[in-house]
């Protein structure tokens, strides 16, 4: 019975502790945006669960998955809904994002042409200042089909819209997804390493400043003590001299003193 109580106590503490860790956990956020049916959810599922569904399952609002990198950093991937009626919510998921992946379908010219609209949405959002925008061209397993947009054209559109990073993927054939995931984890680790270094430097600077302030305080205290001691010694000496002078001054005769002869 006692052992059971002990285990229950340990579990309660472990639960409380894990909650505390969660509250303070920091995430490296990536958001997947783009036209409906471009393949965002499929890429998301391939990245997080390594599965593929040939059915289009409507995404409502957004959902997320948390990945853990080998260095133990947390990466949060947001899959958003591309349908017009849900697009007004997307800026909520872009807030603080370090990477935004705009997903387009290579077999859909509209989806490719809409890159300007999505890029503008990212620029107008409150994502991280140094956000990395990646254009993901999905469904490359269908690249040989008649409707597929040519890579040259995609490159021209990318240049016209100031897109520097393009990644070609196929969620169906698991092509390019591993690279995307690796890039995400690498960037997250780099980010957290830099952040830790910056934080450590700031802490060291703060400690140095505190030590400096303390040293100045000790110096002031010492000076104060020395000055008080010197002043005390001077006043004491003056008092001693005064007393000596009072006690040893020559006695004058009183006015009514008569010398009798
Ligand atoms: N051929 C092919 N089909 C895909 C690929 N990725 C997604 N799809 C299909 O495209 C449709 C829409 O995918 P979904 O992930 O739901 O798109 P979302 O609306 O952007 O989330 C589904 O029927 C998927 O099976 C791919 O790489 N290749
Ligand atoms: Mg979806």
For ligand 1, whether the C-beta of 107 sits within 6 Å is no
Calpha distance 212→60 (Å, rounded): 56
The token pair that represents 184 in the structure block: 């995400």
Calpha distance 13→26 (Å, rounded): 22
- Cα of 39 to ligand 2 centre, how many Å? 7
Order across the sheet with 165-168: list the strands: 62-68, 74-80, 27-34, 99-105, 132-138, 165-168
Enclosing H/E stretch for 165: strand 165-168
pLDDT at 61: 82
- 64 pLDDT above the threshold of 90: yes
For a ligand 1 pocket test, name from 39, 107, 143 the mutation site with the most ligand atoms within 8 angstroms of its C-beta: 39
For ligand 1, whether the C-beta of 54 sits within 6 Å is yes
Could you tell me the fold of the domain covering 2-201? Answer: Rossmann fold (3.40.50)
Calpha distance 119→100 (Å, rounded): 9
- Cα of 43 to ligand 2 centre, how many Å? 9
Supply the pTM of this predicted model: 0.72
Q: How far is CA 102 from CA 18, 23, 44, 80, 134, in A?
A: 34, 29, 12, 11, 6
- 210 pLDDT above the threshold of 50: yes
For ligand 1, whether the C-beta of 40 sits within 6 Å is yes
pLDDT at 44: 95
pLDDT at 25: 52
More confident: 46 or 60: 46
Which ligand has the minimum distance to the alpha carbon of residue 63?
2
Calpha distance 130→32 (Å, rounded): 17
Q: Count of CB atoms within 10 A of residue 168's CB?
A: 17
How confident is the model over 137-154, as pLDDT tens digits? 999 999 999 999 999 999
Task: Work out whether strand 165-168 and strand 132-138 pair parallel, antiparallel, or are unpaired.
Answer: parallel
- Cα of 188 to ligand 1 centre, how many Å? 27
For ligand 1, whether the C-beta of 42 sits within 6 Å is yes
Residue nearest to atom 24 of ligand 1 (CA): 54
Cβ-based neighbours of 161, under 8 Å, separated by 6 or more: 115, 116, 119
Which ligand has the minimum distance to the alpha carbon of residue 38?
1
Place of tokens 């703060």: 206
Residue nearest to atom 28 of ligand 1 (CA): 139
pLDDT at 83: 85
- 11 pLDDT above the threshold of 60: no
């Amino acid at each position: 019975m006692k052992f059971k109580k002990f285990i229950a106590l340990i579990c309660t503490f472990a639960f409380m502790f894990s909650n505390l860790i969660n509250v303070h956990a920091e995430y490296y956020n990536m958001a997947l945006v783009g036209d409906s049916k471009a393949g965002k959810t499929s890429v998301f599922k391939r990245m997080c669960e390594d599965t593929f569904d040939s059915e289009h399952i409507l995404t409502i609002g957004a959902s997320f998955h948390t990945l853990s990198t080998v260095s133990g950093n947390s990466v949060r991937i947001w899959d958003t809904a591309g349908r017009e009626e849900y697009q007004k919510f997307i800026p909520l998921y872009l807030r603080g994002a370090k990477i935004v992946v705009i997903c387009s379908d290579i077999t859909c010219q509209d989806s490719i042409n809409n890159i300007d609209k999505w890029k503008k949405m990212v620029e107008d959002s409150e994502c991280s200042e140094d956000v990395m925008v990646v254009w993901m061209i999905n469904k490359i397993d269908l690249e040989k089909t008649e409707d597929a947009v040519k890579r040259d054209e995609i490159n021209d559109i990318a240049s016209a819209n100031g897109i520097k990073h393009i990644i070609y993927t196929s969620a169906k054939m698991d092509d390019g997804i591993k690279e995307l995931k690796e890039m995400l984890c690498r960037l997250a680790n780099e980010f957290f390493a830099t952040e830790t270094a910056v934080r450590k430097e700031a802490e060291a600077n703060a400690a140095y400043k505190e030590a400096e302030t303390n040293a100045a305080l000790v110096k002031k205290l010492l000076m104060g003590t020395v000055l008080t001691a010197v002043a005390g010694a001077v006043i004491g000496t003056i008092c001693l001299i005064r007393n000596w002078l009072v006690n040893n001054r020559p006695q004058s005769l009183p006015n009514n003193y008569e010398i009798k002869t």
